[in-house]
A and B are shown apart, each in its own frame.
Chain A
């Protein structure tokens, strides 16, 4: 960075997916539907329709506000942000401004970055409605109003981040919080998370707590993936450093740019002078309402154990390594799966191995989520139990698992079909061993002379049993039978 440091602030938008209906209309809040199916008259702004606040959405927003250590308001207000775009049929978005008061203001969040603790100040978090989603084609565009009115949380940080990786680590922490607190699936693939990024650079040796030393703020709009956030920040830092080096930095005005996913560059949108005046005013159709302290208490009590607490439990109670524990808590759905497996009686360490070494790899490779996995926690427990009981070998268990996932059949069925149950019966193995030894008296002599023919005998037994003989029992019986001759 050649003597400069970057100051990065984020505006993170995350849809609340855990309400039944939209934030101001009674249409379903459900992503997986045909386009323009979840619509009520309000979502299309038919004349005379009025917004009605979804209490659950406010509750979840307040929950997020608490987790971010923000101050909650005494009264709830909403504001109108007036602008026109086809994805916003009312011609205004119902949102919250920092004045009078959003659901949360002036908080902070501490998170892990490369095994160090970092703290970011939260300027505010507010509840608003999402706009419709549009797709643009060469000669036309399509709009899906299913998304119009979906509750959206916008989180605004102070410029306390210093690198692209740190920013992404913060976003990953937030995603985990939204998932663990049952606020949102926070699924990037469904477009539930979108970010605006502020980047400026300043001389490395100046005091960053004094805003006078800050550089010119550049805002990058509509970055829709964490990888995009990383790339956009890195590109923008580089671009600004280059301007410094060319001596052109001071000419750069405060501006808004957009991230272009095709060229991996940021493109100029507008300067501060052309900033849109949103003509905010308090939404008159929603009377301000008092937030009772008992309601706040109940919300506070409803906050579940978040990722860091679960990680600690996995390390202390289940003796997992920090590395494995971290992997397991990264995605709440996986952690939930893991906990269910344990609650069904599986060995925590063994279950963790199955997840981290086999199942997560399978999910990644096939770009699946754990909820799409055919193997239920119960099936995994059954599989582990069969292995433990010696019915199948651990090598076979992996083969069985692959077949379970491939053919979508229960482990017990696969074991039966493959005929892979392990032979652990002494007499069966002994009979085969006796037959093999009888057929190769010469090799027994060779063995006694010191040549290693033992593995040959084991191989022959395995060949006859199609690999199903319990290997340690087989070795033991071969040894016994040779010794007896």
Chain B
């Protein structure tokens, strides 16, 4: 049993010859099949994956998973959508090329919310994705299969993408680490786009250290992505340090104060109390923690801003899906009919709804009221957070309003007014900020997470704070234990 270990331990075992890459791949594939059966975590499992030679690269010979919206040469890449259910790309995403050249071994393509849209793990064309801690519960989304498989111990890491919280929320629900670095640190070339100005690549791991190693391997300026930037002088793994004395953190009163939630459930109360315990740990290791206040009006506008911008960009980004050049071509007497049939049959109703919203907010008569205003509020929110980063190294906030929810919505209690808890991670996408979720406790035997977000290009600082905090808790390298 090796797949429950971290990257460095695996690398050492490989180097020492305790185990071969081939054996790791075999174990990983077996677990992947289990996880596919139990959680629906995979669209494709690469059964003929071969072990790779082991070099000094920490990732060499180590199995991993890719979210199915990463373009992979000669390997089915569906984005978990019927519209691409037979699409086999002829080029690799830049991040995939980089992982390949590091020597890591691809085990499978993970299930996700269709093209990243949904956030609950319920819109994949292959069905719901289940949480390995409790199969009746969701992983959240959209990197659901990646989160489930890493939590289930299929391999030490999988890639994700994050447009609103799609790496960081599933990480919390699955009790693992989810990191998206600064916008443009990892090239978006070859990632199926959802909303280009918000889309980030990142990874899901079981430790902050592994997140640093994987991000180091994926990042880099790319001539195919004009928004990528040169990070060759940043070495996240090498610069990891748990000495965070003197670092300044803040949390937002309007989000974290239990008094803001008069109808709070026991779970929410426990979640926020647990968050306060985490703050105490931060202080214990020498960081200061301040409470700051942010205009509630701004926070209330968060989700509208997200919906307007992400839907607008999505409707345009996905206009290339016609089933004519690629994807399963539909029948029809004219090309318009063919496209119409393809899109009507292919997309889930949730996506169609978002296309309509996106189209509506961009229409000439609505554009200023919706789209342009959303851009203005986006800027206000980002400026507010940038203002915080002048004084603080990072903002620390709880993820969601508690542990994973039920897939069957009827079983979920109505959490009124807690929407800001569910939505604030989107600020990290508005500003392109580096943002990491790590597990910080359990509620009813289910994991919950805490998020740390810092200023652009300050990825190392964010990782170090998370690394130090992780060291104070017992959730590093945890594998999902089924609670019932």
Residue ranges of A at the interface with B (Cβ–Cβ < 8 Å):
41, 44-53, 80, 82, 84, 86, 89-92, 277, 279-281, 284-287
A-B contact pairs, 19 of them (CB 8 A): A46-B71, A46-B325, A47-B193, A48-B189, A49-B189, A50-B224, A52-B224, A52-B225, A52-B226, A82-B315, A86-B324, A91-B320, A279-B362, A279-B364, A281-B371, A284-B196, A284-B197, A285-B226, A286-B226
Measured between beta carbons, the chain B residues less than 8 angstroms from A91 are 316, 318-320, 322
Known: A50-B226, A84-B319. 9 other contacts (CB 8 A): A47-B84, A48-B192, A50-B189, A50-B224, A91-B316, A92-B316, A279-B367, A281-B371, A284-B195
Docked CA distance A119–B103 (Å): 65
Measured between beta carbons, the chain A residues less than 8 angstroms from B321 are 47
Closest to B222 in A: A50
Docked CA distance A327–B468 (Å): 79
Docked CA distance A479–B177 (Å): 113
B276 at interface, CB cutoff 8 A: no
B15 at interface, CB cutoff 8 A: no
Measured between beta carbons, the chain A residues less than 8 angstroms from B415 are none
Name the contact of A279 in the complex, choosing from B191, B195, B226, B359 (C-beta under 8 A).
Answer: B359
B227 at interface, CB cutoff 8 A: yes
CB within 8 Å of A: which B175-226 residues:
188-193, 195-197, 223-226
B312 at interface, CB cutoff 8 A: yes
Docked CA distance A277–B79 (Å): 29
B313 at interface, CB cutoff 8 A: yes
Measured between beta carbons, the chain B residues less than 8 angstroms from A46 are 71, 89, 91, 320, 325-326
Measured between beta carbons, the chain A residues less than 8 angstroms from B193 are 47-48
The answer to whether B196 touches A48 (Cβ under 8 A) is: no
Docked CA distance A3–B313 (Å): 51
Closest to A92 in B: B316
What interface size band does chain B fall in?
A: 35 or more
Closest to B363 in A: A277
Measured between beta carbons, the chain B residues less than 8 angstroms from A281 are 312-313, 316, 362, 371
Name the contact of B320 in the complex, choosing from A50, A51, A80, A89 (C-beta under 8 A).
Answer: A89
Instruction: Please judge, given known A-B contacts A279-B362, A284-B196, whether A48 and B190 are in contact too, CB under 8 Å.
Output: yes
Measured between beta carbons, the chain A residues less than 8 angstroms from B190 are 48-49
Measured between beta carbons, the chain A residues less than 8 angstroms from B371 are 281
Measured between beta carbons, the chain B residues less than 8 angstroms from A286 are 226
Measured between beta carbons, the chain A residues less than 8 angstroms from B93 are 48
Name the contact of A48 in the complex, choosing from B71, B227, B324, B335 (C-beta under 8 A).
Answer: B71
Min distance, Cβ B8 to any Cβ of chain A, angstroms: 31
Instruction: Please judge, given known A-B contacts A89-B320, A90-B319, A284-B313, whether A48 and B191 are in contact too, CB under 8 Å.
Output: yes
Docked CA distance A371–B422 (Å): 68
The answer to whether A279 touches B320 (Cβ under 8 A) is: no
Closest to B77 in A: A47
Residue ranges of B at the interface with A (Cβ–Cβ < 8 Å):
71, 77, 79, 84, 87, 89-91, 93, 188-193, 195-197, 223-227, 312-313, 315-316, 318-322, 324-326, 335, 339, 359, 362-364, 367, 371
Docked CA distance A50–B193 (Å): 9
Min distance, Cβ B270 to any Cβ of chain A, angstroms: 40
Instruction: Please judge, given known A-B contacts A52-B226, A281-B362, A287-B226, whether A47 and B313 are in contact too, CB under 8 Å.
Output: no
Min distance, Cβ B79 to any Cβ of chain A, angstroms: 7
The answer to whether A279 touches B71 (Cβ under 8 A) is: no
Closest to A51 in B: B226
Closest to A83 in B: B319
Closest to B361 in A: A279
The answer to whether B362 touches A47 (Cβ under 8 A) is: no
The answer to whether A80 touches B316 (Cβ under 8 A) is: yes
Docked CA distance A277–B87 (Å): 31
The answer to whether A279 touches B363 (Cβ under 8 A) is: yes
Measured between beta carbons, the chain B residues less than 8 angstroms from A41 are 90-91
Docked CA distance A284–B359 (Å): 17
Name the contact of B227 in the complex, choosing from A49, A82, A92, A287 (C-beta under 8 A).
Answer: A287
Docked CA distance A45–B324 (Å): 11
Measured between beta carbons, the chain A residues less than 8 angstroms from B362 are 82, 279-281
Min distance, Cβ A83 to any Cβ of chain B, angstroms: 9
Min distance, Cβ A144 to any Cβ of chain B, angstroms: 14
Docked CA distance A49–B191 (Å): 8
Name the contact of A50 in the complex, choosing from B79, B225, B322 (C-beta under 8 A).
Answer: B225
Min distance, Cβ B204 to any Cβ of chain A, angstroms: 20
Docked CA distance A92–B319 (Å): 8
Question: Which of B320, B321, B335 has the most C-beta atoms of chain A within 10 angstroms of its own C-beta?
Answer: B320
The answer to whether A53 touches B89 (Cβ under 8 A) is: no
Min distance, Cβ B87 to any Cβ of chain A, angstroms: 8
9 shortest interchain CB distances as A-B pairs: A91-B319, A279-B362, A45-B320, A284-B197, A284-B196, A48-B190, A48-B71, A47-B192, A277-B364
Min distance, Cβ A378 to any Cβ of chain B, angstroms: 43
Min distance, Cβ B463 to any Cβ of chain A, angstroms: 25
The answer to whether A86 touches B71 (Cβ under 8 A) is: no
The answer to whether A90 touches B226 (Cβ under 8 A) is: no
Measured between beta carbons, the chain B residues less than 8 angstroms from A50 are 188-189, 224-226
Question: Which of A46, A50, A89, A286 has the most C-beta atoms of chain B within 10 angstroms of its own C-beta?
Answer: A50
Docked CA distance A281–B196 (Å): 12
Name the contact of B325 in the complex, choosing from A45, A53, A84, A92 (C-beta under 8 A).
Answer: A45
The answer to whether A52 touches B223 (Cβ under 8 A) is: yes
The answer to whether B324 touches A90 (Cβ under 8 A) is: no
Docked CA distance A287–B197 (Å): 10
Instruction: Please judge, given known A-B contacts A47-B71, A48-B192, A281-B316, whether A86 and B226 are in contact too, CB under 8 Å.
Output: no
Docked CA distance A49–B93 (Å): 9
Min distance, Cβ A52 to any Cβ of chain B, angstroms: 6
Measured between beta carbons, the chain A residues less than 8 angstroms from B196 are 284-285
The answer to whether B223 touches A47 (Cβ under 8 A) is: no
Docked CA distance A80–B191 (Å): 19
Min distance, Cβ A279 to any Cβ of chain B, angstroms: 4
Name the contact of A82 in the complex, choosing from B77, B90, B319, B322 (C-beta under 8 A).
Answer: B319
Min distance, Cβ A289 to any Cβ of chain B, angstroms: 9
Min distance, Cβ B323 to any Cβ of chain A, angstroms: 12
Min distance, Cβ B450 to any Cβ of chain A, angstroms: 30
Min distance, Cβ B95 to any Cβ of chain A, angstroms: 10
Question: Which of A41, A47, A82, A86 has the most C-beta atoms of chain B within 10 angstroms of its own C-beta?
Answer: A47
Closest to B358 in A: A279
Min distance, Cβ A242 to any Cβ of chain B, angstroms: 34
Measured between beta carbons, the chain B residues less than 8 angstroms from A82 are 315-316, 319, 362
